[in-house]
């Protein structure tokens, strides 16, 4: 099972280049596509899900039915893909069970008995069985997302695309949603697009960082963290000093902590007195990759 994206480009009518020569190889498991807002994540997700066209490039999926040319064989793709969009609209006055049953009919599960079985199984799997009679309008953000997964799973997909799923979820809901996703990643390719570094850190075995339509890095999260080992330093400074440090050092990030900025600096040796070494994490990898790329482009 493999999804191969090669040299994919997309420029919208307004001149924004959302995808710039994107190439990625994605294997079974959870793949994190990490990037800031406007990076091109949704454009890429929608293209893979056959919801929009690319200008050029290729995408191929190698699955149980052999090789599919994703950009050409859209019907075939639709039969193996489950897509959970950023904003999942639901009919507020319909119950989860009724809507899922209806969507199952649309997916072509016409046998009533089979459909009932599929719907019940998915409601159990997404932990919504107890709420199945409740109208979707009364669902919390987390419940809606889980319903979104249930409908995405109707087709028994080999490829699952989840776009910015945890925005607006409380920690418990997020946790439950993560568990569900990682279970799915055991047998399928799950692509998780997000700007939240922790989502990728917790879930993904492989990842790419994307910014301004370009893939900056594809790497195993733990290996990427390992590569920064002993090279990330931290100092608590005054707000007025931030700019000065940025000029003198390779500042990866500045974040507020208890009312004051704490900067992280990339350096092989202690940058100056007062810096302490920190254990690098994925956030350092992320900011370091984006900052370096911006510097290189200047």
Residues forming the site for ligand ADP (CB under 6 A):
12, 14, 16, 18, 35, 37-43
Shortest Cβ 41–ligand ADP spacing (Å)? 3
- Helix (H) / strand (E) element for 121: namely helix 112-125
144 vs 89: CA distance, rounded Å: 9
CB of residue 85 to ligand ADP, shortest distance in Å: 11
CA distances to 4, 172, 215 from 23, in Å: 8, 35, 7
Tokens standing for 284? 């350092």
Exposed / middle / buried, residue 57 (Cβ in 10 Å: 0-12, 13-18, 19+): middle
* Least CB distance to ligand ADP at residue 162 (A): 12
From start to end of 132-259, where are the E strands?
159-163, 189-194, 206-211, 214-219, 232-236, 251-257
| Calpha distance 148→117 (Å, rounded) | 18
How many CA atoms does the CB half-sphere of 89 hold within 13 Å? 1
Q: How far apart are CA 125 and CA 190, in angstroms?
A: 16
Q: In whole angstroms, give the CA distance from residue 131 to residue 150.
A: 13
* Closest C-alpha to 254, from 234, 270, 268, 271: 234
């Amino acid at each position: 099972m493999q999804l191969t994206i090669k040299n994919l480009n997309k420029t919208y009518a307004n001149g924004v280049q959302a995808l710039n020569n994107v190439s990625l190889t994605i294997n079974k498991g959870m793949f994190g596509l990490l990037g800031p807002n406007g990076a091109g994540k949704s454009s890429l997700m929608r293209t893979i899900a056959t919801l929009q066209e690319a200008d050029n490039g290729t995408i191929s999926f190698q699955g149980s039915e052999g090789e599919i040319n994703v950009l050409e064989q859209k019907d075939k793709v639709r039969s193996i893909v489950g897509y959970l969009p950023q904003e999942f609209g639901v009919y507020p006055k319909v119950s989860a069970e009724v809507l899922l049953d209806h969507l199952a009919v649309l997916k072509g599960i016409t046998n009533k008995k089979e459909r009932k079985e599929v719907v019940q199984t998915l409601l159990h799997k997404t932990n919504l069985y107890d709420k199945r009679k409740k109208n979707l309008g009364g669902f919390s953000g987390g419940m809606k997302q889980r319903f979104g997964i249930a409908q995405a799973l109707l087709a028994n997909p080999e490829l699952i695309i989840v776009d910015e799923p945890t925005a607006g979820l409380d920690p418990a809901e997020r946790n439950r949603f993560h568990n569900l996703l990682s279970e799915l990643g055991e047998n399928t390719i799950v692509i998780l697009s997000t700007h939240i570094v922790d989502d990728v850190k917790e879930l993904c075995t492989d990842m790419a960082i994307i910014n301004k339509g370009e893939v900056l890095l594809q790497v195993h999260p733990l290996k990427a963290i390992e590569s920064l080992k002993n090279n990330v330093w931290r100092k608590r400074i005054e707000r007025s000093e931030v700019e000065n440090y940025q000029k003198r050092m390779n500042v990866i990030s500045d974040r507020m902590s208890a009312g004051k900025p704490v900067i992280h600096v990339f350096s092989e040796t202690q940058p100056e007195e007062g810096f302490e070494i920190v254990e690098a994490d994925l956030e350092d990898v992320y900011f370091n990759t984006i900052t370096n790329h911006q510097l290189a482009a200047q």
